[in-house]
Amino acid sequence: MDGPYLAAVDIGGTKITVSIANISGILVKLYRPVQLEGDNLAVPAQVDFLVGHACEQIGIERDEITALGVSTCGPFGIRDGELVLVAPNLCGGLANERGIIPNDWTEIPLQRELSRIYNKIHIENDGISAVTAERMFGAGKGEDNVVYITWSTGIGSGAYVNGRLIRGKNGNAPHIGHIYLVDDGPRCGCGNFGDMEALASGVAIARDYKSRVTAVDMTSEDVTAEGVTGGSVTAEDVFNLFRKGDPEAKSVITNAARYFARGLVSINAILDTRVFIIGGSVFMNNRHILLPLVKEEFCKSFPALSKDVEFRPSALDSYLGDLAALCLVMPDDWGRQWQEKRPWEFAPESIVLSTNSTLK
């Protein structure tokens, strides 16, 4: 297999995924649950471990990697001119509820550590890298005014305005999930009360349903029939109950969709976009339920701003993580070839590494 090689790194709240590609396609992909123990260099060390392991799988050396594209959960801060992760879902020292995340980190010096090992790296938050990938290869092709939103466990986004990617001073624009929507609402993982993520995310849907059935009757047969007993209700359970006609589930999901749409109304008032691309597991698995609800609420808002806005589901969906990180460092000629041949559709199966695996 011929180089040059690019590495794609996707850092989420639960796992880190690494892929290596050359111009013909993705050669290897592997992931491992993210380990949040030890000092605050643990995450960059796991990235390097996974890149090393991926190189070993395809028989190349680490220094044959030309560039590393990193798409990660945020938000970011800047320390001594270099980007640091200040993410409450990774850093125990920033989390609202202490003790759930087994560390006391307040930041992760990702850029400093990775640039010690790799010559060329480009790090962006996962909303920004996702909109870049959708505009290059997916549902945003040819669009100069486009916003991508992920509707998943959390809510994130990235945006192009007049053909330019907007980043902001620390690369956090637009962190749409943390737009305030109501007074005295539930608390978000970020510490805000009543923001979009606290009201509409997958976590919010599960929490909202659980609090309602607990208040009414915790042993409701509908709930136990779904295997939803005791403390564990997932957003997917609530959507399944919705499909079976459960009125509480319907009410919870309709509310979440309404809040989600109001977040879009706010971001559209600021950015005057043309296309919203929506991805993420909560949306993609249930888009036939959610899209009509979101559109209906959105279209109730100020017509002069809302009438020419289009909604599209993510076209890259399960490929988005790899492509989002890769497109940050992909040369133009390579990008053009990929637009034509779509080699990501033929990527090999992911290799799952356990947390105690070590390099040979």
Binding site for Zn ion (CB under 5 A): 178, 188, 190, 192, 195, 197
Q: What is the 3-state secondary structure (H, E, C) of 95-163?
A: CCCCCCCCCCCCCECHHHHHHHHCCCEEEEEHHHHHHHHHHHHCCCCCCCCEEEEEECCCEEEEEEECC
Q: How far is the CB of 106 from Zn ion (least distance, A)?
A: 18
Q: How far is the CB of 359 from Zn ion (least distance, A)?
A: 38
Please state, in angstroms and rounded to a whole number, the distance separating the CA atoms of residues 157 and 293.
20
Q: How far is the CB of 28 from Zn ion (least distance, A)?
A: 36
Q: Which is nearer to Zn ion, 266 or 350 (CB)?
A: 266
Q: Which is nearer to Zn ion, 44 or 263 (CB)?
A: 263
Close Cβ partners of 45 (under 8 Å, ≥ 6 residues apart): 113
Q: Which is nearer to Zn ion, 46 or 89 (CB)?
A: 89
Close Cβ partners of 61 (under 8 Å, ≥ 6 residues apart): 55
Close Cβ partners of 282 (under 8 Å, ≥ 6 residues apart): 151, 152, 153, 201, 202, 205, 235, 290
Give the residue at shortest CB distance from Zn ion: 188
Angular region, 317: left φ>0, alpha ψ -120 to 50, beta rest: left
Q: How far is the CB of 191 from Zn ion (least distance, A)?
A: 7
Q: How far is the CB of 236 from Zn ion (least distance, A)?
A: 22
- HSE-CB for 1 with a 13 A CA cutoff: 19
Please state, in angstroms and rounded to a whole number, the distance separating the CA atoms of residues 59 and 44.
22
Q: Which is nearer to Zn ion, 6 or 179 (CB)?
A: 179
Q: Which is nearer to Zn ion, 9 or 173 (CB)?
A: 173
Tokens representing 314 are: 């993510």
Please state, in angstroms and rounded to a whole number, the distance separating the CA atoms of residues 230 and 106.
33
Q: Which is nearer to Zn ion, 54 or 173 (CB)?
A: 173
Q: Which is nearer to Zn ion, 197 or 297 (CB)?
A: 197
Instruction: Give 86-93's long-range contacts (Cβ < 8 A, gap of 24+).
Output: 87/13, 88/189, 88/190, 88/191, 89/13, 89/154, 89/189, 90/13, 90/34, 90/36, 90/43, 91/40, 92/36
Q: Which is nearer to Zn ion, 44 or 77 (CB)?
A: 77
Q: How far is the CB of 74 from Zn ion (least distance, A)?
A: 12
Q: How far is the CB of 212 from Zn ion (least distance, A)?
A: 22
Q: How far is the CB of 73 from Zn ion (least distance, A)?
A: 13
